[in-house]
C-alpha cells in the first residue's frame, strides 16, 4: 500500500521568499516549479532525498494564485504552515478505494493530476485525526513534464 512519505505540503503567502528560506537555511534546492490551474496554486518542489523504491521525499511549497482556491482559503483561515502530508503509493486508484472501503472519505471520485505529472487524491482531515492527507502515485521519471521557472 503506502511506501513512503512523499511530501509535506506547506502553504505560504510568497513562494519566492519561502523558497529562499528553505534554500538559505537548509540548503534545499528547487527541483521543479509549476502552476496548477485546477488547484489554483503556484508551487515549488524541493527534493530532500531519493528512496529505494525509486521515489523521493519532497517539501512542496504552495502559494495560491486565486483567493478562492483551497490553499488560498486555508491560508486566510490558518496562516502559513503545514497544509497536508502526502504518502506515496504505487497505485493511487486501488489504495484510495481500499481506504474508502474502511470508511475514510476520499475527496475526489477519481484521482487527479498533481505535481510533476503525478496522480493524486486527498482524504478528509476529519477522518484522519485532523490531518489533510494526500495519496500520490508519482509519474515515471521519463514522464515528468518539464516546467518553466515562474
User: Which letter does DSSP use for residue 20 in this model?
Assistant: H
34, 39, 83, 84: which one is catalytic? Answer: 84
Q: Are 64 and 76 in contact (CB under 8 A)?
A: no
**H helices, E strands: number in the chain:** 3, 8
Considering the candidates 32, 60, 63, 83, report the single residue annotated as catalytic: 60
Catalytic-labelled residue, pool 34, 39, 43, 63:
43
Can you say how many angstroms the Cα of residue 115 is from the centroid of all Cα atoms in its chain? 7
Catalytic residue (one of 7, 32, 39, 63): 7
Indicate the helix (H) or strand (E) that contains 92.
Answer: helix 92-101
DSSP state of 69: S
43 is catalytic: yes
Catalytic residue among 32, 34, 39, 134: 134
134 counts as catalytic: yes
Residue with cell 521568499: 17
E strand or H helix that includes residue 44: strand 41-50
User: For this structure, is 34 an active site residue?
Assistant: no
Residues annotated as part of the active site = 7, 43, 60, 84, 134
Amino acid at each position: 500500500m503506502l511506501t513512503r512519505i512523499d511530501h509535506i505540503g506547506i502553504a505560504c503567502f510568497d513562494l519566492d521568499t519561502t523558497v529562499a528560506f528553505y534554500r538559505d537555511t537548509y540548503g534545499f534546492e528547487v527541483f521543479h516549479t509549476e502552476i496548477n490551474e485546477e488547484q489554483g496554486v503556484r508551487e515549488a518542489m524541493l527534493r530532500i532525498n531519493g528512496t529505494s523504491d525509486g521515489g523521493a521525499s519532497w517539501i512542496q511549497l504552495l502559494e495560491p494564485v486565486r483567493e478562492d482556491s483551497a490553499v488560498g482559503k486555508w491560508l486566510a483561515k490558518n496562516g502559513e504552515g503545514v497544509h497536508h502530508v502526502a504518502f506515496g503509493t504505487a497505485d493511487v486508484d486501488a489504495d484510495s478505494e481500499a481506504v474508502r472501503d474502511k470508511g475514510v472519505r476520499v475527496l475526489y471520485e477519481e484521482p487527479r493530476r498533481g505535481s510533476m505529472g503525478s496522480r493524486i487524491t486527498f482524504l478528509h482531515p476529519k477522518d484522519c485525526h485532523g490531518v489533510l492527507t494526500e495519496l500520490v502515485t508519482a509519474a515515471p521519471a521519463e514522464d515528468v513534464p518539464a516546467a518553466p521557472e515562474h
